[in-house]
Structure 1
Amino acid sequence: MCGIVGIVGKNHAEQVIINGLHRLEYRGYDSAGLFVSDGKQEHLIKSQGRIKNLQEKITSEVNGTIGIGHTRWATHGKPSEENAHPHTSQDGKLELVHNGVIENFEELAEEYLANETFYGQTDTEIVVNLIASFIKNEGLTTKEAFQKALTVIRGSYAFALINNEEPDTIYVAKNKSPLLIGLGSDFNVIASDALAVLDQTHEFVEIADNELVTVTADKVTIENQDGEIIDRDSYQAQLDASDIEKGTYPFYMLKEIDEQPTVMRKLTQEYRDEYGNVNIDNQLVNEVAASDRIYIIACGTSYNAGWAAKSLIESVTQIPVEVQLSSEFGYNMPLLSKKPFFIFLTQSGETADSRQVLVQTNQLGFPSLTITNVAGSTLSREAKYTLLLHAGPEIAVASTKAYTAQIAMLAILTQAVGKLKNSEASLSFDAFHELSIIATGMEAMVDEKDYLSDLVKQYLSTTRNAFYIGRGNDYFVASEAALKLKEISYVQAEGFAAGELKHGTIALIEEGTPVLGIITEEKTGPHTRGNLKEVESRGANTIVIATEDLARPGDQVILPKVHPLLTSLVAVIPTQLIAYYASMQRGYDVDKPRNLAKSVTVE
């Protein structure tokens, strides 16, 4: 959610910021703005809607050597130019951009700013004026006032602050929200995501929570809350600007769907040693094997991936698995087992709901693993272990390749744990062999684009409602399939356990309602077919997605046969493409669905 880009020490700062904001569009936003200065003149420009609206307002007179920019996803106050960032203090001296949510902004306004009049409804406007009041009323320097504000603020934040009277410095701080410093030659940058500034630098410095950073063109100074200077090594981002280009694809989502077979092979390459064994930290494998219960903590698509992997993990390792929603688990923690092991699934590694659970489990002393696509992300740094997905940047808001990569990564880890425990099921399970077969099967499915596009035109072109049904793992795929359809095409879609239809849900079936049944399990397939017949008799239009060994004449989508506990990896592919074409045929922006953000960095 939201994005920050800043730079100090380079001409045409406005262009660097605009380019960076474009690269952060995937995070989701409803307004944008920037501030730049050359030390003599300042320019503040804000716009509602897309970044192109902001770009159109930038004239040739707008240039500078220092600046900050922001894309906003509304949390306090409606989307508008008044509420867009950067926010200016009422004395006109300070400019502030902010990601996150300030929980006590109303109390701060009452205690420190009772006589002030505000122009918008944001918590950020309160913060910039709070800092200004400390400078004016207490004679503090900008850094001192900023530091004092940080001690009274409660909530999540990533801040970038400029004082117009110090046109060579950006002050930065974060808590729970992501922010990085990028190191250049005679300039430095800041960004919510390294992707935003890869055209400027590949060298970055991480910022920890509750630190204050002073950034100038030739120096980066990190201090803790006590004012002690912290030395921290930089790292090289293992990404290239070309990784985030669409190439010939009309949308990132289609590109990322097509990349999934490559991701399967990449994971095999990264985690298989020269002898064909799993190459994962032995200590991690030992701790998972020694646990009496695995808790998978996740949100959204990652939550669905956890469910899709649950049966495989339990079958091969003989360890019970619970899959929990981060937003619920953190505030309603159940009675835990004696030796739990926590696995956090997160594409971005910055998911706020998951992080608040990780903070609690760390305090309780439980071991944890983050499985993420982003090296150096917050959940990666704070968990005891990390396994990277190596899926490449995922730009489209609707996650596709991260979902399949998470399941595949869990399969590889499962093989290592099962082998250590010498379970009977592990003797016949070779994750690398199965992922090779799956990669080939995925390629066959992504080649069915034209057929699936026609299928969508026939069944989903005008519908307002649709249902996916299945049993066992097929039910979990149905949940993910419905999520994809609803989030980018705005069709009211739901995934149901097929056997539950008669317990109430069948009342929603009307003439012409699309119902898509997923059948990959031999033991439950006949029952799901019976449920499809039940909805057909009530007027539903049905689509059957079945594996080739279970398919019958008339089934519309035939899946290649793969390991029975990994069918979700191929079954999900046509549902991703169905969602894609349903959105595209309606004329929507597939990559940037309304009201959604890629990285949910607030609870």
Structure 2
Amino acid sequence: MCGIVGIVGAEDVAPRLFEGLKRLEYRGYDSAGIATLVGGAIERRRAEGKLANLAARLAADPLPGTIGIAHTRWATHGAPTEDNAHPHIVGEVTVVHNGIIENFKPLRDELLGEGRSFSSQTDTEVVAHLISRELERGASPQKAVAAVLPRLHGAFALAAMFAGHDDLLIAARLGAPLTVGYGEGENYLGSDAHALAGLTQRIAYLDEGDWAVLTREHIQVYDRDNRPVTRAIVPSGVSPAMIDKGNHRHFMLKEIYEQPVVVAQTLRSYIRPVEQMVALPDMAFDLAAVERVVIVACGTASYVGMIGKYWIERFARLPVEVDVASEFRYRDPVLPPGTLGVVVSQSGETADTLAALRHMKESGVTTAGIINVPTSSMAREVDLLLSTHAGPEIGVASTKAFTCQLAVMAALSVNLARAKGRLDAEQERAVVRALIAAPETISAALAYDEAIAGMAGTIAGARDVLYLGRGPEYPMALEGALKLKEISYIHAEGYASGEMKHGPIALIDEAVPLIVLAPSGPLFDKTVSNMQEAQARGAQVVLISDAAGIAQAGENTIATIEMPEVHPLIAPLVYAVPVQLLAYHVAVAKGTDVDQPRNLAKSVTVE
């Protein structure tokens, strides 16, 4: 969640630390701070709220120093106030931290019992106190950190800087990602490659339990047993241009418009156009042996799993279970032999999903991961990595990652079907043709952006909105409702359209818009029938369909959004566009912060 960046350099670091925080603000924006060493003493600037407030503080009171750490916060323990903002200083050490120290209360009680006082409500300050206590007992910074790390339970990435040590940063990770970067005469650390995009292209990802000592000339990594280890230095692959809005008003809009390209890039990894077939990377297990599929994910990614359930059951005739990762482990799921566990995550670091993956592996389940970051924890731990190629996604509300995940889920579904003998060559060729057409059809859907913007005002004034869909469009209704909630703060719910008369229809009145996703096809008539039941009770309907569907059922609606006619397989990829654009334009009409909606963060690395 929170973002960390650090530099041990040869010139003033505060401006570059601030730029690093700007690249990480999608990870949290409740407060922010920077600490440096000035004449060997720790100096700090902090501010509540977004980075603009910290920028004003730095402009009024500049911060010199050639070594420093910085942090942008998503609050876990303690309100988003300046007192709770990082870095935290205790004695001769200052610390920044991402994650949760689960045993912070007994540690805090122990420290309070020694007469130590706390200036914040955070779990992070406990870490600073523990390190400071070791320093007071005569330990070196390295030995102090090595002594404290085994006492911390939970998930964390942290960095520490020490008064009087102007050539030393120490970083550590357990359950939360952390990266080190290599420069010329200076070195860096950050929560991810984005943080270091403007600093270096040479990075190394710390493994679980690693900690690292950084100086200007050297980085030494240690494993959880304090043994020196070497971690591969790799190209970052992220440039500042990749995380720039370009000519778009918001990152979200830019990323919506990138979908034709990134979906095409993703599908290129899985489609063999000459053979007219879909292929997966080489794997160490046989898909034909799969008897059951369990898909685990959070938020938008879980709706990819729900759509995958429709596809896998339809094409491969395998039973599929979809679970939200935050519940999966706690109900002690039954995972018999022959189960394929599939995790879906943009970052590959989502804490609940990563814990679910590890639970499946401990149960002996073969695993696959649909993941956008090939160097992430999940990507390294699954038996089969199915990469998406969405590129960096900065807007907190997922858009292009979602459609790329759908593209890969379709490829997995087809491969399972072929392995199980449920899909012949001609059927597969038809699927390949549909998938190849997806990027162009998504592009055609984007042509309706202006029309969607024009009708967004009819939704912006609503207090409640309902979304309806059948089949794979039911998860799309859930996704549409989530998008609207996330960025416009309008209460919205998605329902399977046939379920309306079993309770939700009681919510219908003229003040509750009803968004209906109904592409032409075998489920169209049933969806429209449910829509008309709601209209008979005063529902104000926005119908999203193709030209044929609108011609048949567009009467008596307050608006229609026309989509291209599509193969049923790729309908979810195409219909993602109007629900994304509708949420976007409603949020713009309401004046909310589209890219950084309140209370949210992009990479959820805490449970």
| Category of TM-score, reference length = shorter chain | over 0.9
Between the aligned partners of 2:424 and 2:493, the Cα distance in structure 1 is: 34
Runs of 5+ in structure 2 lacking a partner? 555-559
State the identity %. Answer: 38
TM-superposed deviation, 1:404: 0.8
Which of 211-220 and 224-233 deviates more?
224-233
The residue that corresponds to 2:240 in the other structure is 241
Cα distance in 2 for residues equivalent to 1:580 and 1:437:
25
Tell me the distance in 2 between the aligned counterparts of 1:298 and 1:426.
31
> Which residue number corresponds to residue 224 of structure 2?
225
Q: Distance in 1 between matches of 2:303 and 2:425?
A: 24
Is the 8 Å Cα contact of residues 335 and 363 (structure 2) preserved in structure 1? Answer: no
Match of 2:197 in 1: 198
Say whether 1:589 aligns with 2:590. Answer: no
Q: CA deviation at 1:436?
A: 2.5
Aligned residue for 2:557?
A: none
Question: Residue 372 of structure 1 corresponds to which residue in structure 2?
Answer: 371
Deviates more, 1:59-68 or 1:162-171: 59-68
Cα contact 1:113–1:130 (8 A) shared by 2: no
Q: CA contact under 8 A between 1:350 and 1:599: conserved in structure 2? A: yes
RMSD value, Cα: 1.7
1:447-486 equivalences under 5 Å are 447-457=447-457, 459-486=458-485
Query: In structure 1, how many angstroms separate the alpha carbons of the residues matched to 2:272 and 2:428?
Result: 17
Q: How does 1:1-80 map to 2 (within 5 A)?
A: 1-59=1-59, 61-80=62-81
C-alpha separation in 1, matches of 2:263 and 2:432: 9
Superposition deviation, residue 13 in structure 1: 0.8
Question: Structure 2 matches for 1:176-575, cutoff 5 A?
Answer: 176-273=175-272, 275-276=274-275, 277-283=277-283, 286-424=285-423, 427-430=426-429, 431-457=431-457, 459-520=458-519, 522-553=521-552, 555=554, 556-575=560-579
Cα shift at 1:134: 2.0
SS at match of 2:309: helix
Match of 2:84 in 1: 83
Q: Is this contact kept in 1: 2:283–2:383, CA < 8 A?
A: no
Q: How much has 1:548 moved relative to structure 2? A: 3.7
Secondary structure, counterpart of 1:57 in structure 2 = helix
Aligned counterparts of 1:355 and 1:521: Cα–Cα separation in 2: 38
Maintained 8 Å contact 2:40/2:164: no
Amino acid at match of 2:283: Q
Query: 1:178 is paired with a residue of what secondary structure?
Result: coil
Query: What is the total number of aligned residue pairs between the two structures?
Result: 598
**Residues 1:194 and 1:153: Cα distance change in structure 2 (over 3 Å):** same
8 Å Cα contact 2:418-2:424 kept in structure 1: no
Deviations for 1:121-154, whole angstroms, at most 9, x for unmatched residues? 0001111011111221x32222222122111111
Q: Distance in 1 between matches of 2:263 and 2:124?
A: 43
Unaligned runs of 5+ in 1: none
Shift of 1:162: 0.8
Distance in 1 separating the partners of 2:425 and 2:29: 46
Distance 1:255 1:63 in 2: 36
Q: Distance in 2 between matches of 1:280 and 1:187?
A: 41
For 1:452 and 1:521, how far apart are their aligned partners in 2?
20
For the residue of structure 2 that corresponds to 1:534, the secondary structure is helix
Please state how far the C-alpha of 1:425 moved relative to its aligned partner.
Answer: 5.7
Give the Cα–Cα distance (whole angstroms) in 2 for the partners of residues 298 and 333 of structure 1.
16
Match of 2:119 in 1: 119
Answer whether contact 1:264 1:435 (CA < 8 A) is retained. no
Aligned-pair CA distance for 1:296: 0.9
Displacement of 1:247 in angstroms is 0.7
In 1, the alpha carbon distance for the partners of 2:379 and 2:223 equals 21
CA deviation after TM superposition for structure 1 residue 167, in Å: 1.6
- Contact 2:210–2:223 (8 Å) recurs in 1: yes
Moved more, 263-272 or 491-500: 263-272
Q: 1:312 to 1:549 in 2, by over 3 A?
A: farther
TM-score by length of 1: 0.96
| Distance in structure 1 (CA, Å) of the matches to 2:269 and 2:359 | 31
Say whether the 8 Å CA contact 2:304–2:409 is kept in structure 1: no
How much does 1:204 deviate?
A: 0.8
Counterpart CA distance in 2 for 1:206 and 1:547 is 46
Kindly indicate whether the alpha-carbon contact (under 8 Å) linking 2:509 and 2:539 is maintained by their aligned counterparts in 1.
yes
Q: Measured at CA, do residues 549 and 185 of structure 1 come closer, stay the same or move farther in structure 2, by a change above 3 Å?
A: same
Q: What SS does the aligned partner of 2:269 have?
A: helix
Q: Aligned partners of 1:225 and 1:404: how far apart in 2?
A: 38
Q: Which moved more, 1:219-228 or 1:295-304?
A: 219-228
Distance 1:548 1:438, change over 3 A: farther
In structure 1, the partner of 2:95 is 96
Report the CA distance between 1:208 and its aligned residue.
Answer: 1.3
Deviations 1:555-583 (A, max 9, x none): 31222222213311111211110000000
Counterpart of 1:28, as a letter, is G
Q: Secondary structure at the match of 1:386?
A: strand
Aligned-partner Cα distance in 1 for 2:336–2:177: 32
For residues 497 and 103 of structure 1, what CA distance do their matches in structure 2 show? Answer: 39
- For 2:323 and 2:424, the matched residues in 1 are separated by 25
Instruction: Find the aligned partners of 2:214 and 2:39 in 1 and give their Cα distance.
Output: 16
When residues 41 and 110 of structure 1 are mapped into structure 2, their CA distance, relative to the original with a 3 A threshold, is: closer
Question: What's the CA shift string for 1:441-477, capped at 9, x where partnerless?
Answer: 21111111111011112x2121111000111111111
Counterpart AA for 2:142 = K
| Contact in 2 for aligned 1:76/1:121 (Cα 8 Å) | yes
1:599 to 586, 597, 603: 603
State the AA in 1 paired with 2:2: C
| Residue identity in the other structure for 1:318 | R
Residue 120 of structure 1 aligns to a residue in which SS? Answer: coil
Assess if the C-alpha contact under 8 Å between 1:178 and 1:193 holds in 2.
yes
Q: CA deviation at 1:40?
A: 3.8
Give SS of 1:280's match: coil
